[in-house]
Amino acid sequence: MTNLPHTFSSNLGAALSSDNDTAKMEAIDNAPLARYTTLRIGGNADRLYQPESVEELATLIKKLSSEGAPWYVIGGGSNLLISSEGVRGNVIRTTGLTGIKILAPGLLYAEAGARLPHLAKHAAQQGLAGLEFAVGIPGTVGGAVIMNAGAHGSSISAILETAQILDTQTGIISEQSNQDLAFQYRRCALDPARHVVLSAVFRLPQDKPEDIEARTKHNEEYRLKTQPIGFPNAGSTFKNPLPDKSAGFLLDQAGVKDMKVGSAAVSTLHANFVVNLGNATSKDVTALLKQMQQTVAEKFNIDLTPEWKTMGTFSEEELAIWRKKK
C-alpha cells in the first residue's frame, strides 16, 4: 500500500501574486532520499524539488496540482521513515526556506525550513529565551509545528505566536494563532495530509545571553550523554503513553536493548531510539518496531505508538504499527 499523497485545489492561484506564477525550478530525477533523512534510510523519489522561498513552494504546489501530480513535503528528515522501495511522485524538500528575522521586540519569525538548532542559537544571540529546549532537535520549523516538537519539559506550543498555513484543499494561505492550532502532545489541529506550514512567529522573553547560553549548553550536554550520536537515528521512536510513564522507561524495563533486525537495532544507550548500523532497510525497522511494541504490550499491557511519520510504499501489516489498538 502506498501512503496517499497530498492533493491541491486550483484556487491556490488566487492566494499568490502573479509575479510567482512563472517561477521555475529544476527537478532532480530518480533522487535518492536516504541522504535527506537522519535515519539514512529511503529509496528514490521520482522527482525531488528544493524551493528556496515560501513563494516558490506555493507556486510549485500549484504547478504540480494543475498537472495532477502527487507530491509530498519533507523538512530536515527527522522523525521520518521513508520506504526503501522509494516514493512514487514528487518530493519537496523545504530546507532552502531558511529565513529568520526579528519582527518586533520578542517576536522571532522563521520560515518552515529553518533548522531548530540554528534557530535556537540565533535567538540566544539576540537575548531571546524559550528555544533552549530545541537546540538538540534536528528537525525544521515546519515539522516542529505540525508535531508540537518538544524536549526538556518544553515544546513549540509554549512559544508559538502564529503560523502561516497553506490549506491544500482550499488553496488558502492563512495566519493561525496558537489557540487556532489547539496543540496537544506531539500533535496539533493541523492535518499533515492537508496543511503545510510556510512560516511561524515565536514570542520569546528577553533574558541575559549568558543565562540562555548556560541553559542551552546544559541541554546539549544532556543530549550527548543520553542519546545515541554515533549511528543514524530518527529521534525518539515512540510517544510517551502516559504523563508518568515514558516510552523509554517502559522499553528499558521490558528489556529491548538487545533487539536487532538486520542492520536496525535498539540503541544500547537509550531504549527509545532505533539506530541504523549501516545498511538497515525500512523493512528491518518496521519489523523491529513491531517487536518492541509487542514486548511492552506483553509486559505492561500498554500499547506504544511511533512518533515518526512514514512516506512511500509500506504494507498494511507495517502501517498497522502506527494505528492505535482498539
- pLDDT score at 24: 65
**How confident is the model at residue 194, as a pLDDT?**
83
Residues 199, 236, 267, 282: which is the catalytic one?
236
Contacts 24+ apart (CB under 8 A), 118-122: 120/216, 121/216
H or E segment and range at residue 121: helix 116-125
Structural domain spans, the chain: 12-93, 100-212, 247-322
Residue 22 confidence (pLDDT) above 60: no
Element (H, E) at 100: strand 100-104
Give SS3 for 308. coil
Band (pLDDT 50/70/90 cuts) for residue 16 is low
Respond yes or no: is residue 236 known to be catalytic: yes
pLDDT tens-digit readout, 162-193: 999 988 878 889 999 999 999 999 999 999 87
CATH hierarchy code of domain 100-212: 3.30.465.10
The pTM of the full predicted model, rounded to 2 decimals, is 0.88
Distance between CA atoms of residues 236 and 307, nearest Å: 7
With 0-12 / 13-18 / 19 or more C-beta atoms within 10 angstroms meaning exposed / middle / buried, residue 59 is: buried
Between 38 and 64, the more confident residue is 38
Q: What is the pLDDT of residue 10?
A: 40
In sequence order, which residues have a C-beta less than 8 Å from that of residue 209 and are 6 or more positions away?
Answer: 124, 125, 127
Judged against a pLDDT cut of 90, whether residue 5 lies above it is answered with no
Residue 307 falls in the annotated catalytic set: yes
Q: Dump pLDDT digits (tens) for 93-139.
A: 999 999 999 999 999 999 999 999 999 999 999 999 999 999 989 89
Among 56, 111, 132, 307, which one carries the catalytic annotation? 307
The yes/no answer on whether domain 247-322 falls in CATH 3.90.78.10 is yes
Cβ–Cβ < 8 Å for 135, 122:
no
pLDDT in tens, 292-321: 999 999 999 999 999 999 999 999 999 999
**Four-residue CA torsion sign, 177, 180, 182, 186:** negative
Q: Which one from 85, 161, 186, 203 is the annotated catalytic residue?
A: 186
Q: What is the mean pLDDT of the chain?
A: 90
Report CA dihedral (75, 80, 86, 92) to the nearest 10 degrees.
-10
CA distance 78 to 139: 6
| Model pLDDT, residue 26 | 86
Rounded average pLDDT over 261-272:
97
Domain 12-93 -> CATH class: alpha beta
Question: Does the pLDDT at position 23 exceed 80?
Answer: no
Q: How do the residues of the chain divide into helix, strand and coil, expressed in percent and rounded to 5?
A: 30, 25, 40
